[in-house]
Amino acid sequence: MFEGREAGGPETARPNSDGGGKAWCEGRMGVNLSRVRVAWNVALVRLGVRKVLPREAVNRVRVEECGEPLVPWGGKWVREGVARRLEEAVRGLPEGFSLELLDGWRSPEEQARLREDAREAARNKGLEGESLERAVARWAANDSGHRTGGAVDVRLTFRGAEAFCGSGWKEFGAGTESGARVGEEAARNRGILHRARRAAGFANYPAEWWHFAFGDRLWAAYRGKRRAIYGPVEAPGGGENAEKRPEAMP
């Protein structure tokens, strides 16, 4: 409950003395501490001390949907601008190297299944409670950029075979981080992959070396953009095609 203004004083809302005031103050303090924590962790990322931005910093990016369509590329749906940049990334690779597209746009159902896979992987690593939930959010966010068609998972190949980059796709562990210590060959391959990524204008999600992003909130947050240009979209043709890949479309 809140009392009205005091006689002769400015019109303000303030907590009364029935106990609600304490809860109100604690709530405000919690919100402020949360904002300070997010701002502090963002600063650590900018300084290079921390690698992964807090999810709150990504989610607060404003989306101004540009209306760009999904198009087929590598057997997956991606935004038109992403397809152009994938082509540019492939052209920037050394002779013999190419990219295999492992994942692009995802339906809500696909994203939910991936979250359950990530949850099971976290349990298998002995995580529980808040630690488990943080791991799931890190590896398979509800609001993943894959829902926008702006995020893609890629694999580097050399003469048609996988060029090993230190871990498998979706292994979910410390070795999947872009800056993880890996063997000499894997480090060289990651360098080739990420030089082509940067040249094509993609951002990388540091927890996953294979994750490229353009136009979505993650791209905007890591590139210091004021807004994202891609929001969640449906598959071409509507709900009946949500689970179909381009090659299965009529």
Query: Which among 36, 64, 68 has a CA at the least distance from the CA of 226?
Result: 64
Contact 168, 189 (CB under 8 A): no
3-state DSSP of the chain: CEECCCCCCCCCCEECCCCHHHHHHHHHHHHHHHHHHHHHHHHHHHCCCCCCCCHHHHHCCEECCCCCCEEEECCEEEEHHHHHHHHHHHHCCCCCEEEEEEECCCCHHHHHHHHHHHHHHHHHCCCCHHHHHHHHHHHCCCCCHHHHCCEEEEEEEECCEECCCCCCCCCCCHHHCCCCCCCHHHHHHHHHHHHHHHHHCCEECCCCCCEEECCCHHHHHHHCCCEECCCCCCCCCCHHHCCCCHHHCC
Q: What are the φ/ψ torsions at residue 50 (nearest 5 degrees)?
A: -115, 150
Contact 103, 153 (CB under 8 A): yes
Residues 6 or more apart whose CB falls under 8 angstroms from that of 52 comprise: 45, 138, 205, 206, 207
Residues 6 or more apart whose CB falls under 8 angstroms from that of 135 comprise: 118, 122, 125, 127, 172
Task: Please identify every stretch of the chain with a pLDDT value under 50, giving residue numbers as ranges.
Answer: 1-15, 17, 24-26, 29, 31, 33, 38, 40-42, 44-47, 49, 239-242, 248-250
Domain boundaries along the sequence of the chain: 18-50, 63-248
Query: What is the model's pLDDT at position 247?
Result: 53
Identify residue 148 by its one-letter amino acid code: T
**32 exposed, middle or buried (CB, 10 Å; 0-12, 13-18, 19+)?**
exposed
- pTM comes to 0.74
Quick count: other Cβ atoms within 10 Å of Cβ 5?
11
Query: What is the model's pLDDT at position 8?
Result: 40
Name residue 203's beta-bridge partners: 213
Identify residue 69 by its one-letter amino acid code: P
Place of tokens 């080739």: 192
Q: Which CATH number fits domain 63-248: 3.30.1380.10, 3.50.50.60, 2.60.40.10, 3.40.50.2300?
A: 3.30.1380.10
Query: What is the model's pLDDT at position 65?
Result: 97
Query: Which among 141, 173, 150, 124 has a CA at the least distance from the CA of 53?
Result: 141
